[in-house]
Amino acid sequence: MTKVIVIIEKTAGYAIGFLAIITFTEAILRYLFSTHIPDGFVLGQMMQGIAICWGIATATYADRHITVDILYTFGPDRMRRIFDLVGYTINFLFMAAFGYAITFKVFDILEAGEISNDLAIPLWTGYTLASVGILAAVITAALRWYQIVFERR
């Protein structure tokens, strides 16, 4: 499973890196040379969405999201177990609903034929890559839920 998480993390990292390059280059071109990258804003939006969705997938499994709760920290083991069961169940259900919704959004954009202005890049490509990230989040949430419920990790 660690290899899968590494692939998910690298995908999010590459999207963030590409986003940083686009943003930095776009700023330099706009302010120093009064020009811009064709569809730089659209590409930046797509990379940001991809990075966020794949980042959600890695954070869902690896438990690296922010958790601050005094009841959980100082509570008895039984209460922590209940919190974990409820929290991971809600997380899994939310990710499943999000995955369902974003998948249909991809089909809507594909059917509408939406493209970018300058280079006519089909927008469904970015939405598809982001959607695959959320589907990875659904899988990692389901796996983490299974581990918490049945393996008592």
3-state secondary structure of 22: helix
Residue 19 has pLDDT above 90, yes or no: no
Would you kindly state where each structural domain of the chain is located, as residue ranges?
2-150
**Tens digit of each residue's pLDDT (9 = 90 or more) over 35-45:** 888 888 888 88
- The predicted pLDDT at position 64 comes to 61
Closest CA to 109 of 121, 124, 130: 124
The token pair that represents 28 in the structure block = 């330099």
Average pLDDT, the chain: 86
Query: 21 has which bridge partners?
Result: none
Residues 6+ apart with CB under 8 A from 69: 83
How much is the pLDDT for 67?
66
**CB of 139 closer than 8 Å to CB of 91:** no
pLDDT tens-digit profile of 85-137?
Answer: 898 899 899 999 999 999 999 999 999 988 888 888 899 998 999 999 999 99
pLDDT of 82 over the 70 cut:
yes
| Average pLDDT of span 75-81 | 86
Confidence of residue 142 (pLDDT cuts 50, 70, 90): very high
User: Does the pLDDT value for residue 65 go beyond 70?
Assistant: no
For the residues 5-28, what does the mean pLDDT come to? 84
Asked if pLDDT for residue 71 goes beyond 70, the answer is yes
- Residue 153 pLDDT more than 80? no
Paired tokens of 105: 């959004």
